[in-house]
Amino acid sequence: MVIISKRLKRIADKILPDSKLADIGSDHALLPTYLAQKNQIQLAIAGEVNKGPYEAAKKQVENSNLQHKIKVRLGNGLEVLDKEEVDTIVIAGMGGGLITNILNQPFDYTGVNRLVLQPNVAEDKVRRWCIENQWKLIEEDILEEDRKIYEILVAERSEEAYEFNQQIFANVMHRLDCNIQLTRKLKILMGPHLINRPTAVFIKKWNMEIAKREKVIEQLSQSNLEEAVQKKHEFSLEVEQLKEVLKCLQRDKQ
Ligand code: SAM
């Protein structure tokens, strides 16, 4: 049985039994191999744009004798997939910008009803893409491994995505007794589900993010350029809001 990281294991947990899976940017094809070995998927397509990882994925699948279940294909993003071939797409371990570029490729999503996305940075870009493209943001998860914090977003295709997402965003912090008006931008930045179920890792992440922003504010303070002053103002407002949210969430946890 192939050994996978805690992050990949958590991603694997989001794949429904019997799925037809595409793992785009599969690298060593660890995720599809793990899922196939556990008999959790019908089939998988492991896509890779780079020759090295593509060869590594092929070797992994061959060594595991899983060629009948996992096809490894060389190509850019979703272009490796045929129409209605898969029902679930995973894109993990890349920046949010690259993930949304891949999702924006000309592609017929017919038959695809689940996306499992794990951006390493710029999670807000991925959330925004889901909302703007009629995918229900049904789940958000966060974990720490080797001193890195990762978020996993799960989206489902649905005709009612607009109403569903409106509801999710309207209900952020609803049950908390805090008088804060969170902007939509901040909700997209932090994640509506994660704000509503804050874990210790989530609180840690945002304390670290506040510290990063405070460092930038300090650097910007050394410039009188209008752009720098404007940026400093924006960051300061964001930090103020983030601190308020954390204060409220931490008070709620006590
Ligand atoms: N998905 C695996 C994971 O989460 O552990 C591997 C992540 S690895 C850091 C990113 C992989 O994505 C690399 O192997 C890279 O070659 C591949 N990649 C980057 N852009 C891609 C694209 N447009 N299409 C397919 N693969 C891509």
Cβ of 77 below 6 Å from ligand 1:
yes
For residue 254, what pLDDT band results from cuts at 50, 70 and 90? low
Sequence-distant (≥ 6) Cβ neighbours of residue 60 within 8 angstroms: 2, 28, 29, 30, 33
Q: Say whether both 248 and 154 belong to one domain.
A: no
197 and 158, same structural domain? no
Which of 51-55, 114-118, 140-144, 179-183 shows the lowest mean pLDDT across its residues? 179-183
Residue 142 and residue 73 share a domain: yes
Going from the Cα of 47 to the center of ligand 1, the distance in angstroms, rounded, reads: 8
In this model, does residue 145 exceed pLDDT 80?
Answer: yes
pLDDT tens for each residue of 154-177:
999 999 999 999 999 998 977 667
Which has the higher per-residue pLDDT, 178 or 211? 211
Q: Which DSSP string do the residues of 44-110 spell out, in sequence order? A: EEEEESSHHHHHHHHHHHHHTT-TTTEEEEESSGGGGPPTTS-SEEEEEEE-HHHHHHHHTSS---T
Rounded to an integer, the average pLDDT of 236-241 is: 95
More confident position, 174 or 56: 56
What's this model's pTM, rounded to 2 decimal places?
A: 0.96
Pair (189, 122) in one structural domain: no
- Is residue 241 situated within a structural domain? yes
Q: Which residue range is the domain that position 67 belongs to? A: 6-170
How many domains does the structure of the chain reveal?
A: 2
Give the pLDDT band (50/70/90) at residue 250: confident
Confidence (pLDDT) at 178: 78
pLDDT at 162: 97
- Ligand 1 centroid – CA 48 distance (Å): 6
Residues 106 and 42 in one domain: yes
Angle between helices 96-103 and 123-132 (to 10 degrees): 20
101 and 193, same structural domain? no
Stretch 24-39: mean pLDDT: 98
Q: Is the CB of 96 under 6 A from ligand 1?
A: no
CATH number of the domain to which 139 belongs: 3.40.50.150
Domain membership of residue 178 (yes or no) is no
Asked if residue 103 has its Cβ within 6 Å of ligand 1, the reply is no
Degrees, nearest 5: CA angle 120-124-127: 100
In this structure, what CATH number is given to the domain that contains residue 238?
Answer: 1.10.287.1890
What is the distance in A from the centroid of ligand 1 to the CA of 25?
Answer: 3
Mean pLDDT score of the chain: 96
Q: Would the pLDDT of 214 be above 70?
A: yes
Strand blocks (E) in 188-254 = none
pLDDT more than 90, % of the chain: 93
**Residue 177 within a domain:** no
Mean pLDDT of 10-38: 98
Q: Are residues 44 and 159 in the same domain?
A: yes
